Structure 1
Amino acid sequence: MGGYRDADYFRGSLCCQLILFFIWLPSFQDVTAQETHADRRRISSLVELAKEPTSGESGLFDPIEISPAVIPKFPYPTESFPPMYPFYPTFPTRYEPVLTGKCPVNFSHSDISNILDKTAFDCSGPLANLVGNVICCPQFSSLIHIFQGFFSMKSDNLVLPKEVADHCFSDIINILASRGANSTIPTLCSIKSSNFTGGLCPVKDDFTFEKIVNTSKLLEACNTVDPLKECCRPVCQPAIMDATLQISGRQMMVNNNENMAGEVNHTDYLNDCKGVVYSYLSKKLSFEAANTAYRILSACKVNKVCPLTFKEPSEVINACRNVAAPSPSCCSSLNTYIAGIQKQMLITNKQAIICATLFGSILRGGGVMTNIYELCDVDLKDFSIQAFGQQGCLLRSLPGDVIFDNSSGVGFTCDLSDNIAAPWPSSSSMTSLSLCAPEMSLPALPTSQTLKNIGSHSSEVRLFVLIFSFFIFSTLLY
C-alpha cells in the first residue's frame, strides 16, 4: 500500500508541476517579447545624438545641431570591409635617397624606418593631394612629433638646434620622397623645420618640464586614447593643453583672467609649447602608442571642420530660390555646382555632414528655403571625390591609412555604410551643430555574423533556465 501511495503522490506531484508550468508559460512568453522589443530600442540608439557636452567639454568643439538620421551607421566589426578604390596599379618606385649627412640620427633604426614607411605610404605621390587633410597630413604631423622625441631620447633636450633641425627636416623629406611620397608634403601640410626647435617656448628640456608639469597625469591621460570617446569626451586633449599653458607661463595669466588677446604671436607661442609637450610624450610613450594617440587627436580636429572650398553659388540660388517641387533647372544647376566640389578631395563621413550643412546654410542665406537636397536626391557621398561608376567615396571618421592590395595596388578604403540623404539645415546659421553621440549608452555589438539571428537560440536558453528553476521551486514546495 505504501508503494501505491508513493506512486499516487508522485503522479499528483508531477501533475501539479505541469499545471503550474502551463500557467507560468504565457507570462514567460510575455517577458520574452518585452525583452526582444527592448533590444530593438537599444539597437536603434546607435544613431541617436547626445546633447551638447557639458561645460568644460563644449569649448573644444564648435557645436552643430543635426538630425540623428544623418549620422552614419557603422557596420558590425565582423562584417567585411568596403571595397578598396585603387589609385596606383602598383606600389610607387623606391630609390636610395641623397642625405645631408649632417643629421645625427640613424634613419635605419627600425622604429624610425617603420614610421617613415607608414608616412610615405599615406602620402603617396599625387594621392597625397586628395587625402592630405584626412590621411597624409595627420600622419606626417605625427612623424614630426615622434622624430623630435626620438632625436632627444639620449639627452635632456626636448627640441633640436635650429641648424640641425634644417638638415634633419631635409633628410626626412628626401627619405619620404625616395619611398614614393609626394615631395611637396611640407607645403601641403604647412609644416616647417622650425617645428623641431620649440620656437618661442621658454621650456625646452626634461628637467624644467617635469618640474612644472604633472607628468604622471599627462602620461596617464594620453597613454591610451579612446578613438570613440576622445573627440566628444576628451581626456588627452585637455591634459596636453594644461601642460602647454603651464610651460608657456600662461596658466597663471589664464587663472588671473588677464587679457592676452593683444599679445603678438600668442597662437604661435602656444603652438611652439604644444610641440614641446608632444616631444615629451614621444620620449615616454612607445612609438606605436604615440602615433595612435596623435592620429586620433588629428581625427578629432579634422572631423569638426569642412575642408572644402565653396565658391559663390549664385546660379544655384537663382535657379532654386522659389522652387517647391522637383525642378529640372534647379537640380541641373545644383548638380553642376556639386560636380565641381567633387574634384577637390576625399573627406570623411562626418566632414560630409558638416560640408552639406554648411553649403545648405549658404543657400538658405541666399533665399533658398526648400530642401533642394531632397528634391534633387543629393546624398552625403556627393560632397566627396567620386570613384568608379560615379560612386561617391567617403572615408570613415576614425583614423585611416592608404592601403596596398596585391591585386589592385595602392588605394584607400571607402565607407559605404552611409548612403543617406544630405542634411538640409534648419536655418542659415551654423552655430548649433553637434556630431557627438552618446558613447556610453551604445549596446554591445555582436561578435560574429552567426550571432545576428540569435533570437531563437536565446529563447531556448531562457526556456531551459525557466524549466530548471521551476523544478527546483517544485522540489522546495513538496
Structure 2
Amino acid sequence: MVEQTHFYSLSQPAKQPVSGFFDPIEISPSILPHNPFPDETLPPMYPTFPARYDPVLTGKCPVNFSSLTSIMDKTASDCSQPLAALVGNVICCPQLNSLVHIFQGFHSITSDKLVFQNSSANDCFKDIISVLESRGANGTIPALCSVKSSNLTGGSCPVKDVATFEKIVNTSKLLEACSSVDPLKECCRPICQPAVMEAALLISGRQMTINENKNIAGEFTHIDSINDCKGVVYAYLSRELPMDTANTAFRILSSCKVNKGIAAKNAVHTLALLVKMHPCGAVCPLDFKHPSEVIKACRNVVAPSPSCCSSLNAYIAGIQKQMLITNKQAIICATVFGSMLRKGGVVTNVFELCDVDLKDFSIQAAYGQQGCLLRSLPTDVILDNVTGFSFTCDLSDNIAAPWPSSSSISSISLCAPEMSLPALPTSENFKNTGLYITLQFYMMSNYEI
C-alpha cells in the first residue's frame, strides 16, 4: 500500500532568509505516491523501474569490466531508464561522458594507448551500453547524450599514446591543475580548464588563431580536432588520477559548461568564439516555441490581467514537461524567455504580475504543486535498498524569475562576485504564501532493484 503524499502550506508572509543557502527537498521519484487523479496517467516524476539482469557481452573488448563496477553503477543510476531524458542535461550525460574518459584511461594502464582502435572501440562501446542497460540504464542514452564509439578512438587527434603525450605536454602542470578541482571556483576562476585546453592545443599540433575572414567550415574542422584532443587529455588524467578523483573533476567541468559560468579570459573562451550557437542552445536546454499567444495577451498589460496570466501559465505548463534543470539554468532560461517576450513588445514584468518563479521552469513534482530545481553543483541520482532512486531538489521557495532589462541576453553573467541566486521576497505584503511540501513515499511491494 502506498500512502498519500502530505502537503503543508504555511499562510504567513515571506521572511528574510538567514543566509544565501536553502534547505533542499529530498524527492524519491521512483516511489509511487497516491494518485489523486486515478483516471489520469502518472506524471513523469513517478515512474516504475526495470529489474537488473546479467548482460550479454561481445567478449571482444580488452577491458575487465569488474574493475569498473563502481563507476558503472553510478552511471547506470544517473541514467536510469525512466529518468534519463528528464535528467540527461545535468546528471546523466555528464556522468556518461566521464565514464567514457575513465574507460579510456583504465585501458591505457595496460596498453600504453590513450585510445582504442576502431574495431575495439565498437565492441567496447556495445559492451558499455549493455552493462549499463543490465543495471537499469536507458538504452537510448548514446543518442540522448550524443556519445558514440568513435569517442573512444581519439578521432582526429594525432597523439594517441602515453609516451608521445608525455613528451609534448607538461604533465606535472596538468596534473597539478586538475587533481583537485574546486567546484565553487573552477567555473568562474578556472584552473583545470585552461590546463586541459593548453594540453589539447599542444598535442593537436596547431596554433589557435582567430581570423574574422576565415571560412567557418575550416574552423569547425579545427574545433573537432581540438575537442578530440581534449578527450585524449581527459583519458590521460583518468590514467593518472584515482577513479573517484577523475570522475569528480570531470563532473565539475561538466557543471561549468552546463551552467555556463565561465568568465575568465582563457583558451576556452578563445575556442568558443569560433562557434556560433543559438543563445538558448548554448546556455538554456529548454525548447522555447515562439510565445505568440502570450505576447498577444500580455503586450499592453500594466496591471495583473487574468487573460495574460492564463496564457503565460499555459505556455509555462508546456515547459514544465521537458526536463529537470539547475537553479542557474533556470535564471538563464527565465531571462531567455523574458527576452523573447520583450522582443515581441511585452515591456511590463509579467513574471512579477503573474507570480512566475524560478521553479516554474523545471519539471514539477507532486502533481504540479512544487517545482524541482537541481543544484548548480554536480549531483547524482542516488540508489539505495530502502528508498530506491532519489535526488535532491534545491531552491523550492518562491524565488521570483528575473525579468530582463532588454530583449538582449548577451550580458548574462553568473560569475560576478555578488552573483549567487535571487533573494527571497521580503515584502510583508507579498501576496503569495510560502509553500512547503513534505513528501512521504513508500515502496511498492513489487518494486525491484
**Separation of aligned partners in 1, 2:214 and 2:293:** 45
Give secondary structure in 1 for the equivalent of 2:346.
coil
Secondary structure of residue in 2 paired with 1:311: coil
2:360 alignment counterpart? 382
Instruction: Report Cα offsets for 1:367-412 as digits up to 9, x if no partner.
Output: 0000000000000000000100410000000000112355542132
Sequence identity percentage: 72
TM-score (norm 1): 0.73
CA distance in 2, matches of 1:201, 1:379: 45
**How far is 1:86 from its partner?**
2.0
Q: Distance in 1 between matches of 2:234 and 2:165?
A: 12
Give the corresponding residue for 1:308.
286
What is residue 61 of structure 2 aligned with on the other side? 103
Equivalences for 1:5-84 in 2 at 5 Å? 73-75=20-22, 81-84=24-27
2:300 matched to which residue of 1? Answer: 322
Q: What TM-score, normalized to structure 2?
A: 0.77
Cα distance in structure 1, aligned partners of 2:90 and 2:212: 36
Pick from 182, 186, 191 the counterpart of residue 142 of structure 2: 186
Q: Which amino acid aligns with 2:398?
A: N
Of 146, 154, 170, which residue of structure 1 is paired with 2:126? 170
2:194, 2:201 → 1: CA distance? Answer: 10
Structure 2 Cα separation of the partners of residues 260 and 241 of structure 1: 23
- 1:349–1:418: 8 Å Cα contact kept in structure 2? no
* SS class of match (2:30): strand
Structure 2 counterpart of 1:436, from 415, 421, 426: 415
Q: How many residue pairs are counted as aligned between the two chains?
A: 365
Report the Cα distance in structure 2 between the residues aligned to 1:287 and 1:342, rounded to whole angstroms.
36
- Distance verdict in 2 for CA 1:91–1:314, change over 3 Å: closer
| SS at 2:189 equivalent | coil
Q: Deviations over 1:22-47 (max 9, x none)?
A: xxxxxxxxxxxxxxxxxxxxx99x7x
> Counterparts of 1:399 and 1:108 in 2: how far apart (Å)?
26
Residue 88 of structure 1, CA deviation: 4.5
Q: Deviations over 1:105-157 (max 9, x none)?
A: 11111xx1110000000000020010000000000000000001111111321
Tell which deviates more after alignment, 87-96 or 349-358: 87-96
Q: Unpaired segments of 5 or more residues in structure 1?
A: 1-42, 47-72, 442-478
Alignment of 1:279-294 (within 5 A): 279-294=235-250
List aligned pairs for 1:150-161, cutoff 5 A: 150-161=106-117
Choose 1 or 2 for highest CA Rg: 1
Q: Among 334, 337, 349, which residue is 1:356 paired with?
A: 334
Return closer, same or farther for 1:406/1:437 CA change in 2, 3 Å cut-off. farther
Paired residue type of 2:390 = G
Asked if 1:122 is matched to 2:101, the reply is no
Q: Distance in 1 between matches of 2:357 and 2:211?
A: 49
Q: Distance in 2 between matches of 1:154 and 1:258?
A: 46
What are the equivalent positions in structure 2 for 1:410-449 lying under 5 Å apart?
Answer: 410-416=389-395, 418-438=397-417
- Kindly provide the amino acid, as one letter, of the partner of residue 87 in structure 2: V
Residue 423 of structure 1, CA deviation: 0.3
Distance 1:88 1:381 in 2: 22
CA distance in 1, matches of 2:113, 2:103: 13
Match of 1:373 among 351, 359, 370: 351
| Matched AA of 1:293 | A
Alpha-carbon offset, residue 269 of structure 1:
1.2
Q: Separation in 2 of the partners of 1:394 and 1:257? A: 39
Q: Which has the higher helix share?
A: 1
